[in-house]
Amino acid sequence: MKNIVITIARQYGSGGRTVGQMLAKRAGIHYYDKELMKLAAEESGISEKLFVQADESVKKLSPLARLSKRVYQGELLSPSSDDFTSSENLFNYQAKIIKQLAETQSCVIVGRCADYILRDCSQVVSCFVHAPMAFLMEQAADKQSARGHELEKLIEQIDRHRAAYYEYHTGQTWSDARNYDLCLDSSRLGFEKTVEEIMAYARVRFGEHIWEEIDKEGED
């Protein structure tokens, strides 16, 4: 059985991270999110702090600066290059880790443009989890002190940053449904049923017993 990888892009407050964690636990597979930066740092020998800083700098680029996109091509620069620690090369190291994971194990990957990086892999299910603003605000209020219009602006800002990061590295629009196999409204389904829908889609696409087969792989 091939590995199966679920990638999840998500609006802030939609619970996409929670859905990914629930799915990984239920399926008995690994879950990856910010840990990817640590793995990329270990692979490259570059400080993890630089990976974090590069991510933030790309997300906060001005609209004009984002016109000069650095669409992922997969090329890794050598340590002797002046651009070895550039945001593009750091992204490429994260992409290398994502591809290695997809080749060696079943897992859930949240964010990091994983859907684009793995777009040519047949065993990938790419998901976008979204919800209306009222739901996003309700969920975000559990983690943020802001309320009302201030909270709404914060959510919009975070999503703009995520969209900017995605567009810069992929040349694609983050919220475009055509980039994903599934677009799920977590406010209508709830987190548990969102997990169930992803698992049901995988059964239709890869076979009725796909999740049982993955469980057996995990026990070997």
pTM here is 0.89
**Tokens representing residue 10 in the block:** 């998500």
Three-state SS letters, 147-179? CHHHHHHHHHHHHHHHHHHHHHHHCCCCCCHHH
Q: How far is CA 177 from CA 69, 90, 174, 182, 183, in A?
A: 21, 27, 8, 8, 7
* pLDDT in the model for residue 86: 84
* pLDDT in the model for residue 219: 45
**76-105: pLDDT as tens digits:** 877 878 788 888 889 999 999 999 999 999
> How much of the chain, in percent, has pLDDT values that exceed 70?
91
Strand partners, 86: none
Kindly state the average pLDDT of the residues 196-200.
97
What residues have CB less than 8 Å from 116, skipping those under 6 apart?
Answer: 72, 166, 169, 170, 172, 179
Phi, psi of 128 (to 5 degrees): -125, 120
Which one is predicted more confidently, 58 or 97?
Answer: 97
Contact 63, 56 (CB under 8 A): no
Burial 156-171 (b: 16+ CB within 10 A, else e): eebbebbbbbbbbbbe
Computed over every residue of the chain, the mean pLDDT equals 89
Closest CA to 19 of 190, 202, 219: 190
Question: Going from the N-terminus, what domains does the chain have, and what CATH number goes with each?
Answer: 5-219 (3.40.50.300)
**Tokens representing residue 190 in the block:** 């709830």
Angle at 144 between CA 141 and CA 145, to 5 degrees: 95
Query: Is a pLDDT exceeding 80 seen at residue 65?
Result: no
Kindly state the average pLDDT of the residues 16-37.
95
Contact 113, 165 (CB under 8 A): yes
